Amino acid sequence: MTLRAYLVDDEPPAIERLQRLLDKTGRVQVIGSATEPEQAVEALSADPPDVCFLDIEMPRLNGFEVLARLPRQPIVVFTTAYNQYALQAFAVNSVDYLLKPVDPDSLDRALTKIERLRSSAEVSQPDFQALFQQLAHSLRETKPEYPERIASRLGDRLWFLDVERITHFYAEDKLTYAVSDGKVYCVDHTIAELESKLNPRLFTRIHRGTLVNLEWIKEVALLTGGALSVRLKDANKTELTVARDRAREFREKVGY
């Protein structure tokens, strides 16, 4: 029997990618999706699906808070970009999890588990209020903290750059530079250090020496040989190249 699924994620590319993967399986009918958690609560309450693929990190309401507001709980598959939430401990009964970007093998595993539970009548409704409290506590304890500002030294002064205004970082002549509001600033971090330090939902490495802010990408184009070209929405309409060995991961991240 085909599973009726509802998708919830505040990032449209993540929903589009997951829907493509689900459509390819031929095992799932996607009956709807939402990028706003409040919209998801309304839709899931009105017509509960067989399974809900639910993002954890969302503005205003996180995934656990969405569940806490539902009068009836569907089978839930959590999706998250962070494995430090240790959702393995809660992947029992009607709860499973997928790390983003979702890969076909992990999705197939989750669907098989759901089908087994449904066919054997093993699906039981856990105490989601207690589950929410446990997961919310885990979220508070393990949620990584990312810097909101990066320092740039100019002589005997420090300039502090708002991370959200930085379009990209690049390495050149053994130095690393941040570009913000069309200006270039030298920073005391390597590209590798910045990659591990900054929020992976915002910044991704597209080249050995380039880290780009996904929020500033305007368009992506395919180049000869499998590489990609990225144009930013800054005043200079900056163009960057995604290296071939990073193109697949980048495409999955932006849903291209």
**123 and 158 both lie in a single domain:** no
In 92-238 the beta strands, taken as DSSP E runs, fall at 95-99, 149-154, 157-162, 166-172, 175-180, 183-187, 203-207, 210-213, 217-222, 228-232
Question: Looking at per-residue confidence, does 87 or 205 come out higher?
Answer: 205
d(CA 12, CA 214): 13
Of the listed ranges 6-15, 67-76, 207-216, the least confidently predicted one is 67-76
**184 and 135 both lie in a single domain:** no
Residue finishing a domain among 86, 116, 142: 142
Using the predicted structure, report yes or no on whether residue 136 has a pLDDT greater than 80.
no
Residue finishing a domain among 87, 108, 142: 142
Residue finishing a domain among 101, 125, 142: 142
**29 and 132 both lie in a single domain:** yes
Query: pLDDT-derived band of residue 90, with 50, 70 and 90 as boundaries?
Result: low
Phi and psi at 222, nearest 5°, equal -85, 130
Tokens of 245: 């060995």
Using the predicted structure, report yes or no on whether residue 93 has a pLDDT greater than 50.
no
d(CA 194, CA 177): 11
Coil, helix or strand for 36? coil
Q: What is the pLDDT of residue 88?
A: 44
d(CA 88, CA 215): 30
Cα angle value 223/164/220 (rounded, 5°):
15
Using the predicted structure, report yes or no on whether residue 37 has a pLDDT greater than 60.
yes
DSSP 89: G
Using the predicted structure, report yes or no on whether residue 164 has a pLDDT greater than 80.
yes
Of the listed ranges 43-47, 141-145, 153-157, the least confidently predicted one is 141-145
Tokens of 119: 């066919």
Average pLDDT value for residue range 209-224: 91
Say if pTM beats, i.e. exceeds, 0.75: no
Tokens of 185: 């600033």
Using the predicted structure, report yes or no on whether residue 15 has a pLDDT greater than 70.
yes
d(CA 28, CA 21): 10
**157 and 192 both lie in a single domain:** yes
**77 and 17 both lie in a single domain:** yes
**89 and 161 both lie in a single domain:** no
Question: Looking at per-residue confidence, does 119 or 6 come out higher?
Answer: 6
d(CA 251, CA 13): 10
Q: Which residue has the tokens 């990609």?
A: 228
Structural domain count, the chain = 2
* Residues spanned by the domain of 235: 149-254
**110 and 137 both lie in a single domain:** yes
C-beta of residue 21 within 8 angstroms of C-beta of residue 107: yes
Percent of the chain at pLDDT above 70?
84
Q: Please give the distance of CA 23 from its chain centroid, rounded to a whole number.
A: 20
Query: H or E stretch including 246?
Result: helix 244-254
Question: Looking at per-residue confidence, does 107 or 92 come out higher?
Answer: 107
DSSP 59: S
Q: Alpha-carbon dihedral of residues 152, 158, 162, 163, nearest 10 degrees?
A: 30
**194 and 247 both lie in a single domain:** yes
Q: What is the pLDDT of residue 232?
A: 95
Tokens of 188: 């005391």
**112 and 185 both lie in a single domain:** no
Query: Which one, of 254, 246, 253, lies nearest residue 207 by Cα?
Result: 246
**129 and 157 both lie in a single domain:** no
**41 and 132 both lie in a single domain:** yes
Q: Say which CATH number the domain at 44 has.
A: 3.40.50.2300
Q: Say which CATH number the domain at 198 has.
A: 2.40.50.1020
**34 and 133 both lie in a single domain:** yes
Using the predicted structure, report yes or no on whether residue 102 has a pLDDT greater than 50.
yes
